[in-house]
Amino acid sequence: MLIDAYARRFTYLRLSITESCNFRCSYCLPDGPDCSSRKDELTLPEIKRLVKAFALLGTRKVRITGGEPSLRKDLTDIIAACKQTDGIEQVALTTNGYRLQRDLSNWQQAGLDAINVSVDSLDAATFHLVTGENRLPAILDGIEQAMAAGMGKVKLNTVLLRQHNALQLPDFLEFVRDKAVSLRFIELMRTNDNQSYYQQQHLSGASIQQQLLRQGWQLEAKVRSAGPALEYSHPDYQGQIGLIMPYSKDFCADCNRLRVSSRGQLFLCLFTEQHQNLRHLLQDDNPKPLMHYLQRAVLGKAASHELHQGNSGSTRHLAMIGG
């Protein structure tokens, strides 16, 4: 098992398979898409060895993230490799939806169980302004296809932005009224190079939380394999609303996830700069050295992140936390 010094058990792996992205979201890549050199990304054999070691240590869920994971031509093979690993019960994908319409069927056939799609506004003009892409209708159609195809869990990730979507809660609520999806609001985080943008755009998730409670939404119990979102339901709505609030009290108390980057670096916290290189342990099929390394490493995991001290670490792509 992977258990840290605070008795937290880690059963959830966030695996980034690329740092590149083809959107230019204002909160993430305001200077344009990042499709830089990808020669150092983990290979499929390395990913298989990595996931096997984690599974042998009790990992049951793998979330494939980026960047934008669908930029990898072997994404379908990666999904299949994770799903076919003994012990892995759920494989999820976080995507900007760019290739959702085209590739959904292949992803499902490979064994994908759940999908998260970034949708920062349901208004096409606002979506275009935030992401730099005029693709909202196609992405929403892809989401409809995922629901129609029986995808186990379909979730939407929305970064809260004061000047762009703060007043659109009624639109989001109406969207989930007759759709069995979970729409989660993610608080914008301060990073080392976005302080001005953060001051302009940050909106506390607590304001959304208060509006939901006033309208009769109720907090759901969190299951062991869940990510960091607080999920709310309402008897008049088929869907749910989630809140991911990294600055909230006790956010780290039930942490169950570790992150590995596309270059094989282990991050014990989703928000830390500090990492440990695993790549040298992924060069043969013997999982034991990596397993022993991981068991020792998690004992060094801190009790909490340092966001309140203004340290947001290496987190740039908010897809990292949108579980």
* Separation of alpha carbons 194 and 31, rounded Å: 12
Other CB atoms closer than 10 Å to residue 58's CB: what's the count?
13
296 known member of a binding site: no
Q: How many helices (H) and strands (E) does the chain have?
A: 9, 12
63 known member of a binding site: yes
The residue count of the chain comes to 323
82 known member of a binding site: no
Residue showing tokens 């599974």: 55
313 known member of a binding site: no
Nearest to residue 302, comparing CAs of 265, 272, 262?
A: 272
27 known member of a binding site: yes
Nearest to residue 25, comparing CAs of 112, 98, 87, 82?
A: 98
67 known member of a binding site: yes
177 known member of a binding site: no
189 known member of a binding site: yes
155 known member of a binding site: yes
Distances from the Cα of 46 to the Cα of 61, 255, 287, 290, angstroms: 18, 26, 11, 12
233 known member of a binding site: no
94 known member of a binding site: yes
198 known member of a binding site: no
52 known member of a binding site: no
21 known member of a binding site: yes
* Separation of alpha carbons 185 and 252, rounded Å: 18
DSSP 9: B
35 known member of a binding site: no
- Residues annotated within the binding site for GTP are 14, 63, 94, 155, 257-259
- Residues annotated within the binding site are 14, 21, 25, 27-28, 63, 67, 94, 118, 155, 189, 252, 255, 257-259, 269
- Residues annotated within the binding site for S-adenosyl-L-methionine are 27, 67, 118, 189
- Residues annotated within the binding site for [4Fe-4S] cluster are 21, 25, 28, 252, 255, 269
